[in-house]
Chain A
């Protein structure tokens, strides 16, 4: 055991450790809880930066791998490791969590202690998902992370929070349970083919099943992730969940949880079943494109800002999926980067909407108007987030969108022709919103003496803005990290590509009695 060897495990379980200690803080000592959780999450972020320092972006394959036997009966191991994709998503998680915690300080007014501790639990779950290399471990984190989110929406959410929470939970579970069946099936199929039973993802990549089998397994995985992403038409839980969730919940939901779906496609569904993936690819691409346009059109007409941003997420994530389906380096690089971008820009938007809600207790567009006058700083930051969201060059959103679109154009021009309309529609609904909220004369008395952002709120937003500009201006470090991950993804999925064999030579034997 050492810091370096177990760095990833430390990062996964540090927040949970924080929860254990935090549980002993008196629940009436609110500021102690706030500071404690904030500091834990900040330490977590700092520790996660060590990942970047020690990350070798030139090497292919998983890094920081750790393996401990967990359930030997099934050859289920505690097997973790990351590549560029996971690294960025983990960083996104550790980056957003402290901001969300800090951002919630005045928003959450009941049962604070539970709220902040649940967030730390959630953080462990999310990082675990991104780091797992064993399918069962992955599944455990995948589901375990639903619970904190369920509670966060259900306890601190809006008026229809219970409906939204239950819908979120059951809908997601529905998909993932089918995935569980597929995982188990895969395990036995691999065992039958090679004589080795394992849930090791990297080994399972090499499994070649006939198309007829792959189709079903892929469908199970794809459905599960499609619900999570969400891909049209599995998206309806999202607006409900977003509208009802408290700000912090929305930010994490949009920023990280949705990425698990796209991550799932990239890490599991597509490379595990390349033949089926190629068969399904055009359909998924079409669904993604429908999602882009549909999400944007529906977002355009929403009267509730949060719902609008939620539908815009449907649109943006459609773009990410399209990037993954286009199967070339540009589009996949773009898709991964866009995952991060969406986390930042939509996260920022939700955060901002939350700040507004805190002041006015409404999110109806018609209630606002002209508040750029009373809240200039807020208006400026919102504008930057808006521009990032609509992919203005120079900000992060553009790099991702551009790479995805150009890549999908390379793959099939018609994809980009349709997906590109999202560029227009995105501007339409975001600017319409911006105008309705910030511009015009103040018509509503309640808006006349709104307070501009407090120092704390500005501190919450600044890191996000820095990232937004940084990725837009100098995306190269990020692209470097992503590069090998997307290359191996393509190699796994592309039909003609030769399978990559991993270097690990230890072949665990299935215990005799299970055969």
Chain B
């Protein structure tokens, strides 16, 4: 068999891999303060983003149809790399404060990015699993990065065990699929399925699809596969929590879109029905439980569960329109959540405390600008115009309504009313409550920069979302053809 190799197809991955390598070298040659490693990572990720933009419009399928570099991949590259970029930015000071000699933080982050990029550009189940696991195995240590915090380790452990458990389900599903179709190539699978007479009649296939759906649902934290999320998010260091909520979620959703929605579109009916319920239960549970949370990280963990539900609302319809709305939602969520966690990172103390609601009390007095930005992020999460979150919800719900899922849209809307309560909790803690005695430490430049990038995204997507909507649409089109 002729093996075609076109390195352009993995140019961004190569750049990130090279950065990983250089960073590792740098790590070896720097002192205990590792921010220079971070700077290298920043440069590398920046170059990765640049290359992705440069490659925009091309479509290259290479490595024996293992990798497809198309607009879909590129858009997700950019999304996860922006998340990575902001995460590195906000971690520059944080990492050195929390742990000494911790260059591996950046290395793991980069390798996780690399995994995500393979995940979203893969067109073979083998590569998908490879990317997924590279991403996950880099994240587990990051969750447990702060080695002296017991909660951090606990979160990592739970995440790991449950993650492996879910991976087993995913792999078993893939195995079942393989046992029927005899291939792991997505193009071939799509071709076979589209010509098969009665795809939903085959029990083994159905079980396989279900298990794959379950495996991915775990990664994006749909209820009831969500249970790891609050613990891992709360245990993880704040920048990593943001990164998980943004990038891991986005990449996993990319995989769902590619594998479950597009390739297995013959199974649209059962998948849509299952997703309808998953999404409804997820939106409800995530929002309801978040109401009583006192820890902001945990609250946002539940909120991120709910947001996964909203993304699924876009996917239920299974058409291009719905998928692009989901993509848009993920992009807007990426900006919003990384921005929020940038601010939480600033507030998180070295021992991992400082993220309770009471720690936000009176923030608007000590940090007026920071708190107004935080308020914008919260409003965006709540879906209030003129922020990215509103446009995202608008897009998602309109796709659902267009496809006739008005009931789901109304349900989603009602749950988002519940969500208002806890997002406002943060706003009112910042604005309406009096500050406790607090050392007024300066905001690190990295965090400021990260916050500004995120804020730009939130506002840009909220006020002039058209371009990004077009990009999302193009990316889905490139996936379909």
Contacts and interface: CB of A to CB of B under 8 A. Distances in A.
Contact present between A and B (CB < 8 A): yes
Interface of A: 70-74, 111, 114, 136, 139-140, 143-144, 146-147, 150-151, 154-155, 161-162, 165-166, 169-170, 173-174, 177-178, 180-181, 184-185, 187-188, 513-514
B398 A170 contact: no
Nearest to B385: A140
Contact of B386 (A73, A140, A166): A140
B432 interface: yes
B480 to A, nearest CB: 11
Contacts of B413: 177-178, 180-181
A181 B385 contact: no
Given A154-B428, A185-B406, A513-B320, A146 B398 contact: no
Contact of A143 (B385, B391, B398, B473): B385
B436 to A, nearest CB: 17
Contacts of B424: 150, 166, 169-170
Contacts of A177: 413-414, 416-417
A139 B420 contact: no
A173 B398 contact: no
A181 B431 contact: no
Nearest to B393: A180
B469 interface: yes
B277 interface: no
Contacts of B477: 513
Nearest to B418: A170
B394 A180 contact: yes
B384 A144 contact: yes
B390 interface: yes
A188 B401 CA distance: 8
A376 B466 CA distance: 60
Given A143-B384, A181-B413, 9 more contacts: A70-B464, A136-B394, A154-B428, A166-B428, A169-B420, A173-B384, A181-B409, A187-B398, A513-B473
A178 B410 contact: yes
Contacts of B427: 150-151
Nearest to A187: B398
Interface in B423-481: 424, 427-428, 431-432, 464-466, 469-470, 473, 477
A169 B375 CA distance: 14
Contacts of A180: 394, 397, 413
A173 B420 contact: yes
Contact of B406 (A111, A154, A181): A181
Contacts of A151: 427, 431
B384 A146 contact: yes
A71 B469 CA distance: 9
B410 A170 contact: no
Nearest to B410: A181
23 contacts: A71-B464, A72-B466, A74-B398, A111-B365, A143-B385, A146-B384, A147-B375, A151-B427, A151-B431, A155-B431, A170-B417, A177-B413, A177-B414, A177-B416, A177-B417, A178-B413, A180-B394, A180-B397, A180-B413, A184-B398, A184-B409, A185-B406, A188-B402
B313 to A, nearest CB: 12
Contacts of A140: 385-386, 390
Given A140-B386, A143-B384, A143-B385, A170 B431 contact: no
A357 to B, nearest CB: 20
B240 to A, nearest CB: 31
B421 interface: yes
B143 interface: no
Interface residues of B, number: 38
A514 B384 CA distance: 24
A513 B471 CA distance: 12
B372 to A, nearest CB: 9
B420 A70 contact: no
B368 interface: yes
Contacts, number: 92
Contacts of A173: 384, 417, 420
A161 B432 contact: yes
A166 B473 CA distance: 37
Contacts of A169: 420, 424
Contact of A73 (B379, B432, B470): B470
Contacts of B228: none
A52 to B, nearest CB: 29
Nearest to B402: A188
Contacts of A154: 428, 431-432
Nearest to A169: B424
Contacts of A188: 398, 401-402
A173 B424 CA distance: 12
Contacts of B416: 177
Interface in B385-407: 385-386, 390-391, 394, 397-398, 401-402, 406
Contact of A114 (B368, B409, B410, B469): B368
A184 B473 CA distance: 19
A28 to B, nearest CB: 13
A184 B379 contact: no
Given A166-B428, A177-B416, A147 B384 contact: yes
Contact of A184 (B391, B397, B466): B397
B431 A73 contact: no
A161 B364 CA distance: 17
B85 interface: no
A169 B401 CA distance: 25
Contacts of A71: 391, 464-466, 469
A138 B364 CA distance: 29
B284 interface: no
B321 interface: yes
A147 B378 CA distance: 12
Contacts of A166: 421, 424, 428
Given A73-B466, A140-B386, A170 B368 contact: no
Contacts of B365: 111
A157 to B, nearest CB: 8
Contacts of B379: 147
Given A174-B417, A177-B417, A162 B428 contact: yes
Contacts of A185: 401, 406
B432 A155 contact: yes
Given A73-B466, A114-B368, A184 B385 contact: no
A89 B477 CA distance: 46
A73 B469 contact: yes
Contacts of B464: 70-71
B417 A181 contact: no
A314 B421 CA distance: 26
Nearest to B365: A111
Contacts of B473: 73, 513
A188 B465 CA distance: 20
A357 B26 CA distance: 66
Contacts of A70: 464, 466
Contacts of B432: 154-155, 161-162, 165
B420 to A, nearest CB: 5
Contacts of A161: 432
A56 B410 CA distance: 42
A73 B395 CA distance: 10
A188 B386 CA distance: 22
Contacts of B402: 184, 188
Contacts of B466: 70-73
A111 to B, nearest CB: 8
A188 to B, nearest CB: 5
B397 A181 contact: yes
B398 to A, nearest CB: 4
A165 B417 contact: no
A486 B391 CA distance: 33
A268 B364 CA distance: 37
B321 A144 contact: no
Contacts of B421: 166, 170
B67 to A, nearest CB: 26
Contacts of B414: 174, 177
A212 to B, nearest CB: 13
A481 to B, nearest CB: 30
